[in-house]
Amino acid sequence: MIGTDVIGTETAGEFGTKAGMLARLRIKLCYLVRHQKTVNLADPATFNELVQRRKLLNRDQRMVTLADKVAVKSHVAALLGNEWVIPTLWHGTQLPEEPNWPHPFVLKSRHGCNQNIFVRERDIDWASVRARAKKWVKRPYGSWLDEWLYGHIPRGLLVEPFVGTDGKLPLDYKIFVFGGRATHVQVHLEREKRHRWIVFDRNWTRVSAATADTDPVCPTSLDRMLDAAETLARGIDLVRCDFYEIDGAPLFGEMTFYPGSGLDKFNPITLDSEFGQYWLGAGGR
């Protein structure tokens, strides 16, 4: 089980190295292009600014293990119980010549984000899947956005059973936990086709701007998910814990330390400052 000391180890000395200066420049440019304003790294106040500072300075090794999609499962099972963990059907670095797992299943990289293939049918072009997965393993992840921790997770692949219903992906409940307190749930809709998200507070009141989407029904296991997120986040100033609900039962997804890489735009923009204040109040720097 991972230790629960406060995550906050920073290597300020890297700020002045050539690599650190280049990383700082890339972060500033990416932030400027995405948000159309400069980032304050010296005295960050908003959530997205704090993510940039974490990317630049925080080097706590525990984040590496907790973001590793294979390694984190034993940690979650120890804290919450095996029933929270989606089974791993296989993991390794090279896919077999033919898939030998029950369909449908999900192929993921263990060391990156948004590297998923949902295999629903048996007649899929497996050679193409293997070629795509090979590229995931070959290439380091995270360097282009200076997401340090992903470069330290062992590169690899894992296969899990598909947990959606009737071939559809389940809603994704992403819970923001500041200083051990779960405050908000970001609900992701239609991740494969028309990806969008809505933010609720912990009482299931929408706090993001009104959209054409009807608010999804509050999951029956929301309280259990909030408690689980707080358990997993103990001793951490900010982490996002992701869950699904299948037939009323909650399942753990992953833990994320650079939500949106600090480049997602909040709507309304005031949420960026509000989340930043929560993080600063939890000891974020």
What DSSP element (H or E) covers 107? strand 105-109
pLDDT the model gives residue 195: 87
Structure confidence at residue 180 (pLDDT):
97
* Matching residue, tokens 């993991």: 91
pLDDT score of 27? 98
DSSP assignment of 154-197 equals: PP-EEEEE--SBTTBPPPEEEEEEETTEEEEEEEEE-TTTS-EE
Q: Residue 15: its pLDDT value, please?
A: 56
Beta-carbon contacts of 27 under 8 Å, excluding residues fewer than 6 positions away, are: 39, 41, 52, 55, 56, 146
Per-run averaged pLDDT (10 residues), the chain, 285 residues: 45 66 96 98 98 96 97 98 98 97 97 95 95 97 96 98 93 97 96 89 96 94 98 98 97 98 97 98 81
Name which of 263, 232, 274 is nearest 4 in CA terms. Answer: 232
Q: Where are the alpha helices (DSSP H) in the chain?
A: 18-35, 47-57, 61-67, 72-80, 126-138, 222-232, 270-281
- Phi/psi at 14 (5° precision): -70, -20
Dist CA 223 CA 58 (whole Å) = 31
Question: What are 210-230's pLDDT values in tens digits?
Answer: 888 999 999 999 999 999 999
What are the beta bridge partners of residue 244?
251
pLDDT at 6: 38
Kind and range of the H or E element at 239? strand 238-246
| Contact in structure between 258 and 147 (CB atoms under 8 Å) | yes
User: Rounded to two decimals, what is the model's pTM?
Assistant: 0.93
CATH ID of 1-80+168-285, from 2.40.50, 3.30.470, 3.40.50, 3.90.320? 3.30.470
